Amino acid sequence: MWRSGWRTSGVLRRLSGRSASLGAWRWASTTACERALLRYRVGEKIHGFTVSQVTSVPELTLTAVKLSHDGTGAQHLHLAREDRNNLFSVQFRTAPADSSGAPHVLEHTVLCGSQRYPCRDPFFKMLNRSLSTFMNAFTASDYTLYPFSTQNPKDFQNLLSVYLDAAFFPCLRELDFCQEGWRLEHEDPSDPQTPLVFKGVVFNEMKGAFTDNERIFSQHVQSRLLPDHTYSVVSGGDPLCIPDLTWEQLRQFHATHYHPSNARFFTYGNFPLEQHLKQIHEEALSKFQRIKPRTAVPAQKPWDKPREFQVTCAPDSLAAGSSEQTTISVSFLLPDITDTFEAFTLNLLSSLLISGPNSPFYKALIESGLGTDFSPDVGYNGCTRDAYFSVGLQGIAEKDIQTVRDLVDRTLDDIIEKGFEDDRIEALLHKIEIQMKHQSVSFGLALTSYIASCWNHDGDPVELLKLGSQVARFRKCLEENPKFLQEKVKQYFKNNQHKLTLSMKPDDKYSEKQMQLETEKLKQKVNSLSPEDKQQIYEKGLELQAQQSQPQDASCLPALKVSDIEPRIPFTEVEVALAAGDTPVQYCTQPTNGVIYFRAFSSLNTLPEELRPYVPLFCNVLTKLGCGGLDYRELAQQVDLKTGGLAAAPHVLPDDSHLDTYEQGVLFSSFCLDRNLPDMMHLWSEIFNNPCFEEEEHFRVLVKMTAQELSNGVPDAGHLYASIRAGRMLAPAGDLQETFGGMDQVRLMKSVAEMTDIKPILRKLPRIKKHLLNCDNFRCLRWRIRWTASSGPSAGVRRSGSLCPRTWWSHLSLAVKSPDWRATWAGDAAASELEASRRCTLTLIVSSVHFLERTLPAHLSLGVFSFLWETFYFQKPAPKGPGRHSLVTRKLVMDPTFKPCPMKTHFLFPFPVNYVAECIRTAPYAAPAHASLKILARLMTAKFLHTEIREKGGAYGGGARLSYGGIFTLYSYRDPHSTETLQSFLKAIDWAKSGRFTQQDINEAKLSVFAAVDAPVAPSDKGLDCFLYGLSDEVKQAHREQLFAIRHEDLVDVSNRYLGAGRSTHGVAVLGPDNASIAKDPSWVIR
């Protein structure tokens, strides 16, 4: 996977994993951390490694152990932390000299077989022989990273063995290079009369990547700003240069770059370090001698004067304003990223400059009305040896280029003169504090990604993790010099001659020109071939086709067994009681480390049909337009100072029992430190009761940004948009999903952004609010409290028997009784660990929000049917079970008139690749057939579709999946084919119906499915399935037992019953270029 130029900006986002996600957390216990701190000593020898540093990093609850390998000099960093989701990665510094894509093609090819595991494609095969929580590989601008994670110790050793052998002892067969990289092959490999064309997985992946104008612009910024060495080329490969790469060059690149002396190993979690080191040494490093790698990337030589460039791209048919699609940015070279404190400071400075409506560049550029959004890659970029900062606008008229440049210069002058408000700096430091507590279940992956670039250039990764000390040093610098940040702006921006101004404008013939260049490249290659060469190409094509079609013996690969899977899920204890008289409260004790999580779900059942398309826009702007006595700038400041963010998002939640039943609503989410709970709830109260819908100019700004973001996202998520459209007419929820998150929403926002008078849209927001922000429509409030039992709650959390839930509802202040009331130690089974930490948590999930400052009129009567818009609305109690009561109800929708119908849609885009989806209506979650279909989807992906779509067809990805709501989807991603892929889907169904798979294949599919089913769940998400979907642990356990029990005949049965032609309703959608056969077929709708 190529991810050059695509970075998560800022220390906050990179450490949090998913910055917008509320499913983030960190483990409470420090057992592994403490054990490592006591166990390892500097100078200690362990299995060929020597310990060079042991450091506690308390702010992240981990101990860092640095080692080096005595024989090869390989570096190893182990982060000991009480986390079951253990991670390994190995990275190599890979600095290409040209744009032929050598590191990217190599990343793919090493995973195609190795000395110990010579079967074809062991990487993809291990996806079905493992319980891994993550497996992938990434090619960045100057390094290649191979990470995996798992919760199973045996699985960890299996995957480590495969990864080590792939990286250090790959087969690098010529046919694998041809399949994964590029090849000349006849359009029909079995017919030498068909024309020769370019094929290859990486070739098509990069063609797809560069359909995205944001990626094109980001690549040009990096290449033009850092032109002296490796950053001037495309590490992933330019599609026009990839055919210049030879097999011999690939082998040589591996020999010079994939050596232990050029490697950095990383392990994370609570598994023993000794076992990791022993296996790495014995299976890989002991077989090498130390060398001096010549892979260092030199520093960029600073310019003596600024430079300017202009490039072109394809017009964006989804962007608002066809005449205003120019992009401009001004970029500045910054210091080496190995200076960790300077990098930390500039990262924070970048956030102050561009983040949120109070930032100077937001005010100067976004609110100027000249463009739609910031330019791509805006802010601090620390993914190259020399960092850089970019700022600019996209969606501007070409005539406004100079105006934007002037605005950038004037804004920098203003900052140097006036500096930053203290509250904005405090808000930013608060973000760091809360993100250190609020982290994802994939924290190991976040850490290895966070340190990769700095470590790659011999920076100190441990210093990078010491966020607490960096914050303290930053505060000290500000105290000693109030103009500390202003001086940085002057030094690195105002007086910096290494300054690039890059503009990009659309060219109507851009795609045509790119196609012509590829045609010329192909012609050049073909014309240079002798008759013998052509015959060899034909024979090699047949050989590759035969290899791809031949069943592979994967018995050499290690594998877990189905018996290694835990037979039962860990049950989450959930209880429901009444608070404040009639408010159902769901309790769930979990460790949340002083962070409180709030969630509320509000039904959309009473909302008029004509307002539904505008619900996503309403959600996007609700927390950004101001409320009560706060304007939008003041609200943004309070949100940053007191919370980790406020969010609202539309949801369509299928029922577990009926395909034609679903729930519609909006999920409100936020989190904060426990001391800030009263402030966070006050903000929500103001937003719910007194939202501001009068800020027309700021509303227009938000509309343009939303439309631009949706438009920019289509090339990367084309398969998802195709899937949503294909499933639109298969179930009643499908149409609403298209309205909320499909191409209809993208096109609607484009039309809204182009409106000269936006007042009619603005007037819809109060009408939506009237129906949505209604206490009778709310189902849930979820919040978490954590205090230290020995010292009492932290600031803002009072602890006494007099503080009952009624107090909170009426006064919006936190109110709980003492721990004896309900809170217990988090996880009674781990009493010894918890006694050491002396902390406990309380989680409340409330089914109705009664803390609103005024009572709103009821619109639905509980327990009765209402008939509106020819649709039934009814209550469905949550499932009963131990410790559960049916007090929490879901307001479901059922349309008795709905009839599924087939639909085929082709969205025309000037892409060189396609995104294809076919959806089939099958069975909901609770139906016994659902478990069989889930196993079948994984089986079809691994045993048929991967070979047909990726290996033979050359698409970057493809497969099958089953949704919770019972929609079975076959899809492809960055696919050179469309109608041919649809034929492959039919072949896959025929293959499944014929039962041409073994019991071993079924067992492997079960392992893959259970890897997803048993993926780590954050404490903040425990019980979430119950309140969102009404799923109890008992229902999930029953489903689990159904998965275990699946037999061969069950899979054949559901294949015939649901997937065959005429059995169930199918829907099809394609996003991609014009297709003659589709255009001539009247059954297709062309959009």
Residue 166: CB partners within 8 Å, gap ≥ 6?
Answer: 110, 111, 114, 117, 122, 123, 146
Catalytic residue among 44, 82, 174, 180: 180
Residues 542, 545, 548, CA angle at the centre, nearest 5°?
150
CB atoms closer than 10 angstroms to residue 993 = 18
Both structure tokens of 454: 């700095």
Whether residue 107 lies in the annotated active site: yes
Rounded to an integer, what distance in angstroms lies between the CA atom of residue 387 and that of residue 496?
Answer: 13
Rounded to an integer, what distance in angstroms lies between the CA atom of residue 371 and that of residue 408?
Answer: 14
CB atoms closer than 10 angstroms to residue 423 = 13
Catalytic residue among 82, 107, 463, 738: 107
Is residue 258 within 8 A of residue 168, CB to CB? The reply is yes
Q: Which of 634, 654, 650 is nearest to 642 (CA)?
A: 634
Whether residue 520 lies in the annotated active site: no
Rounded to an integer, what distance in angstroms lies between the CA atom of residue 662 and that of residue 894?
Answer: 7
User: What is the full DSSP assignment across 895-952?
Assistant: -TT-----EEEEEE---SSEEEEEEEE---TTSHHHHHHHHHHHHHIIIIIIIIIIII
CB atoms closer than 10 angstroms to residue 542 = 15
Rounded to an integer, what distance in angstroms lies between the CA atom of residue 481 and that of residue 475?
Answer: 10
Rounded to an integer, what distance in angstroms lies between the CA atom of residue 236 and that of residue 136?
Answer: 16
Beta-bridge partners for 841: 786, 824
- Inter-CA distances, 960 with 6, 122, 125, 964, Å: 27, 20, 16, 14
| HSE of 645, CA atoms in CB hemisphere, 13 A | 20
Q: Which long-range contacts (CB under 8 A, 24 or more apart) does 518-521 make?
A: 518/198, 518/239, 518/240, 521/198, 521/240, 521/243
Rounded to an integer, what distance in angstroms lies between the CA atom of residue 39 and that of residue 318?
Answer: 58
H-type alpha helices, 147-290: 153-168, 174-180, 201-209, 213-225, 247-257, 273-283
Amino acid type, 165 = D
Q: First and final CA of the chain: distance in angstroms? A: 31
Rounded to an integer, what distance in angstroms lies between the CA atom of residue 28 and that of residue 403?
Answer: 52
Rounded to an integer, what distance in angstroms lies between the CA atom of residue 103 and that of residue 141?
Answer: 9
Residue 135: CB partners within 8 Å, gap ≥ 6?
Answer: 123, 126, 127, 147, 148, 159
Is residue 854 within 8 A of residue 843, CB to CB? The reply is no
Both structure tokens of 606: 């009473």
- Inter-CA distances, 859 with 249, 532, 585, 862, Å: 70, 79, 22, 10
Is residue 148 within 8 A of residue 159, CB to CB? The reply is yes
Rounded to an integer, what distance in angstroms lies between the CA atom of residue 518 and that of residue 873?
Answer: 56
Rounded to an integer, what distance in angstroms lies between the CA atom of residue 332 and that of residue 341?
Answer: 19
CB atoms closer than 10 angstroms to residue 990 = 15
Rounded to an integer, what distance in angstroms lies between the CA atom of residue 404 and that of residue 401?
Answer: 5
Phi/psi zone of residue 796: left (φ > 0), alpha (ψ -120 to 50 degrees), beta? Answer: left
CB atoms closer than 10 angstroms to residue 136 = 16
Q: Which residues are catalytic?
A: 107, 180
